[in-house]
Structures are given as structure tokens and as C-alpha cells.
């Protein structure tokens, strides 16, 4: 499985955000001894965000205390928006900090001081857990843009002449390709044909009536021919 085009099975390229250059150097040395590649480091929010966008690391080691007004939790909130994985590596464990941390989505929380073995095991465990939840993305060209879509957010696809609609939880895209061509780009094990003009993400199905499939906010036609196939798939 992949995340941001990087194989989860390989050791991640790591970027360090740490305001103490001595600690940053210590972390980098420890990681290199374990076979990890450190592609850069920075001491403040702005530089870190710029370099992360430029270098595209697989994993961020993020201190909470940084130079400047914006700290590691502020940076974490931005990383969450872009689905970039990170681990906190910090000595701050006070209640106020933990309350703020709960609003973010780290892979883990490594408390300083740390050992080399502790650092390695935390990274390995976090990277393994990420592989179990890695999202599958598909690139869909529509209306002059290329959209990067998390397949789990696609509710259904609907044929429209030689075009098709891709309906997600947040938007509807008119794609200049047939339904058959578009669905071939998806993980077909998660999608099922309910009607000659509709293909539905099985994970968004709430219930099944005689002639329709019920999603959270709408219903999709269900043909007599496709009903047994759908029922069998959902049982599996």
C-alpha cells in the first residue's frame, strides 16, 4: 500500500523539526545508525513547512517547542490538513500541552530523554501502524484540474453518456471518461455495480431495499440482476 506515492514497506525518509541543533544532530546520528535517511532539519515553523513541501519526507519527527511564536502543535495542525505523518518528540508533558496535542493526529509521542532503541522502536511501530491504515488515492481529471481523491471518500459513480460523475463526501466531479474507464482506476474490491448506470462504494451502504441502495444522504437504483451479487458481496 502507498501513502503520498511512497511505499509503506520501505524505511521512511525522515525530516527533523527541533529547535536545539545539538539534539537534532544526536537524533540524525541515531537514525543513520539504524539505516534511516534524514533529508533535512529546521528549528522553526515557517522553515519547516517550506522544506517539508519542497523535500516531501515520508515522516516528520516534531518537537513541540520551536523558535518563534508558532510551535510544533501549530505545525502539526497544518500537517494534518495535508495528511503528512509525524511523531512528536518532546519533553513537554504538562496538562495544557497534552490538551492541545489531543486536537492533532500524531502517529505517536516520544518523550525526551530517549534512547536509540526507544527511538527506533517507536518509529518502526508507528510506520507499521500507518501501513495498516494507509489511504489509497486516485488522480481524477475533471473541469481542467487533476484532483487527488481518497478512494474511501467516493460514495458512487454515475454514467452520463461518454462521461461520468464521481460523487464524494465533499464534492461532485464530472469526468470526461466513461464509467467503465473511470472505475478501472479504482480498487474494484470496494466498489459494486448496482445498476447499469451506477457503481457504489460498498462501505457507504447503510441498507438495501428491493429496488434501491440506501446511503447516508441519498438512495441509488438497484436492478434485479445486480441485487444477488450485491448481497453476496456484503455477506463476504
Do 63 and 148 lie in a common domain?
no
Q: Kindly give, in sequence order, each residue whose CB lies less than 8 Å from that of residue 65, ignoring residues fewer than 6 positions away.
A: 19, 71, 72, 90, 91, 92
Regions in the chain scoring below 70 on pLDDT: 1-10, 132-134, 236
Do 6 and 64 lie in a common domain?
yes
Do 95 and 142 lie in a common domain?
no
Do 33 and 120 lie in a common domain?
yes
Q: What pLDDT does 143 receive? A: 86
Closest by Cα among 123, 148, 132 to 58: 123
Do 85 and 187 lie in a common domain?
no
Cis peptide before 113 (omega within 30 of 0): yes
Handedness of CA 89, 95, 100, 103 (dihedral sign): positive
Q: What pLDDT does 7 receive? A: 40
Radius of gyration, alpha carbons of the chain: 22
Q: What pLDDT does 31 receive? A: 94
Q: What pLDDT does 92 receive? A: 87
Q: What pLDDT does 8 receive? A: 41
Q: What pLDDT does 155 receive? A: 96
Q: Which of 92, 116, 133 is the last residue of a domain?
A: 133
Q: How many domains does the chain have?
A: 2
CB count within 10 Å of CB 152 equals: 15
Do 142 and 225 lie in a common domain?
yes
We report the CATH number of the domain holding residue 80 as: 3.40.50.2300
Domain of residue 33: give its range: 2-133
Distance in angstroms (rounded) separating the CA atoms of residues 171 and 168: 5
Do 156 and 118 lie in a common domain?
no
C-alpha torsion 34→38→44→47, nearest 10? -170
Determine how β-strand 137-142 pairs with β-strand 145-150.
antiparallel
Q: Which of 133, 151, 181 is the last residue of a domain?
A: 133
Do 11 and 56 lie in a common domain?
yes
Q: What is the maximum span of the chain, computed from C-alpha positions, in angstroms?
A: 68
Do 194 and 209 lie in a common domain?
yes
Amino acid at each position: 500500500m502507498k501513502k503520498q506515492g511512497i511505499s509503506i514497506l520501505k524505511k521512511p525518509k525522515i525530516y527533523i523539526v527541533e529547535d536545539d541543533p545539538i539534539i537534532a544532530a544526536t537524533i540524525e546520528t541515531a537514525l543513520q545508525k539504524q539505516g534511516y535517511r534524514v533529508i533535512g532539519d529546521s528549528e522553526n515553523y515557517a522553515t519547516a513547512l517550506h522544506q517539508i513541501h519542497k523535500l516531501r519526507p515520508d515522516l516528520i519527527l516534531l518537537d513541540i517547542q520551536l523558535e518563534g511564536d508558532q510551535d510544533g502543535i501549530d505545525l502539526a495542525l497544518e500537517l494534518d490538513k495535508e495528511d503528512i505523518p509525524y511523531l512528536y518528540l518532546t519533553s513537554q508533558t504538562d496538562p495544557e500541552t497534552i490538551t492541545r496535542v489531543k486536537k492533532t493526529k500524531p502517529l505517536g509521542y516520544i518523550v525526551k530523554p530517549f534512547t536509540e532503541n526507544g527511538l527506533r522502536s517507536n518509529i518502526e511501530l508507528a510506520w507499521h501502524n500507518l501501513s495498516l491504515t494507509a489511504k489509497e488515492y486516485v488522480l481524477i481529471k475533471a473541469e481542467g484540474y487533476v484532483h487527488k481523491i481518497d478512494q474511501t471518500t467516493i460514495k458512487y459513480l454515475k454514467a452520463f453518456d461518454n462521461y461520468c460523475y464521481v460523487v464524494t463526501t465533499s464534492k461532485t466531479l464530472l469526468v470526461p471518461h466513461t464509467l467503465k474507464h473511470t472505475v478501472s482506476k479504482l480498487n474494484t474490491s470496494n466498489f459494486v455495480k448496482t445498476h447499469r448506470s451506477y457503481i457504489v462504494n460498498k462501505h457507504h451502504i447503510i441498507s438495501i431495499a428491493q429496488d434501491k441502495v440506501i446511503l447516508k444522504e441519498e438512495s441509488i437504483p438497484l436492478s434485479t440482476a445486480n441485487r444477488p451479487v450485491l448481497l453476496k458481496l456484503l455477506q463476504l
